[in-house]
C-alpha cells in the first residue's frame, strides 16, 4: 500500500515534518509512506493554470494519483489550515469534477506546541475535503499537543504514548484504505 505523506509546513525543524517522519518509521508491514515537499508549489493562480499546470503542481497531482491514500500532517495557523497546505489542496482539487483528490482515502494528523493539538485546523481541513470528496478517516485522531515536549532536538518522536497512537492510527488507515479501495 502506497501512502503519500504531505506536511503543511516548510520549516526545516517543523514538528509536522517530524511527525510525518515518525509515521514513516512506524508504518505497518506492507505500507510505505513517501513524503512530498510543498516548497516548490507556487501560489494558485487561475491564469497560470489556464496556461497549463506548473511542473511542481503536475508532480503533486501525479504523486496523489499514484498513491493509495494520503497522510496529511497539518500545523494550525490562527485556528485554521496554513496557507501552504490549503494552496496545495486548491491546486490538487482542479478540475473539480475529476480531481485526483476525489474518492482518495486520507488521514489527517497534526502537531503544535499549543494545547489544542491542531483540532481546529484538522476540522477545517475535513471541511475542504467535503468539497473535494476526499475520504478522510473519521477516527482515531492524532492530535499532538505540547509537541516541543514530545520530539527531541533532531526531530525524533520520543513520546512513547504518541508513538503507539501513531502506529495504531496508521493501522486504521490501512484498514480504511482497503475498505474503500480493495485492490490497495
Ligand atoms: C501565523 C501563525 C499562527 C499560529 N496559530 C496557531 C494556532 O492557531 N494554534 C496553534 O496551536 N498554534 C499556532 N501557531 C503555532 C504553531 O503551531 C507552531 O508555529 C508550529 O510549530 C507550526 O508547525 P510546524 O512546527 O510544523 O512548522 C501559529 C504559528 C504561526 C506562525
**In angstroms, what CA-CA distances link 1 with 18, 62, 136, 145, 174?**
21, 16, 17, 29, 8
What is the C-alpha to C-alpha distance for residues 26 and 31, in angstroms, rounded to an integer? 10
Over residues 66-77, the mean pLDDT reads 98
Residue nearest atom 24 of ligand 1, based on CA coordinates:
14
Distance 146 CA to ligand 1 centre (A): 11
Is the pLDDT confidence value at 168 over 90? yes
Whether the upstream peptide bond of residue 95 has omega within 30° of 0, thus cis, is yes
Residue 25 CB neighbour total at 10 angstroms: 12
Helix (H) or strand (E) holding 64: helix 55-66
Q: What pLDDT score was predicted for residue 50?
A: 98
What is the C-alpha to C-alpha distance for residues 114 and 117, in angstroms, rounded to an integer? 6
Q: Is the CB of 18 under 6 A from ligand 1?
A: no
The structure's pTM equals 0.98
Is the pLDDT confidence value at 182 over 90? no
Q: What pLDDT score was predicted for residue 181?
A: 81
Amino acid at each position: 500500500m502506497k501512502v503519500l505523506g504531505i506536511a503543511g509546513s516548510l520549516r526545516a525543524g517543523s514538528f509536522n515534518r517530524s511527525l510525518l517522519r515518525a509515521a514513516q518509521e512506524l508504518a505497518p508491514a506492507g505500507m510505505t509512506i513517501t513524503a512530498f515537499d510543498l516548497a516548490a508549489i507556487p501560489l494558485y493562480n487561475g491564469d497560470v493554470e489556464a496556461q497549463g499546470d506548473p511542473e511542481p503542481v503536475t508532480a503533486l497531482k501525479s504523486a496523489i494519483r499514484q498513491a493509495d491514500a494520503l497522510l496529511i500532517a497539518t500545523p494550525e495557523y490562527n485556528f485554521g489550515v496554513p496557507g501552504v497546505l490549503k494552496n496545495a489542496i486548491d491546486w490538487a482539487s482542479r478540475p473539480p469534477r475529476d480531481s485526483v483528490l476525489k474518492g482518495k482515502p486520507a488521514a489527517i494528523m497534526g502537531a503544535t506546541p499549543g494545547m489544542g493539538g491542531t483540532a481546529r485546523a484538522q476540522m477545517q481541513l475535513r471541511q475542504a475535503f467535503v468539497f473535494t470528496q476526499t475520504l478522510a478517516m473519521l477516527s482515531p485522531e492524532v492530535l499532538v499537543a505540547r509537541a516541543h515536549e514530545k520530539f527531541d532536538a533532531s526531530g525524533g518522536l520520543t513520546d512513547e504514548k504518541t508513538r503507539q497512537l501513531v502506529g495504531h492510527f496508521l493501522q486504521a488507515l490501512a484498514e480504511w484504505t482497503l475498505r474503500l479501495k480493495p485492490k490497495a
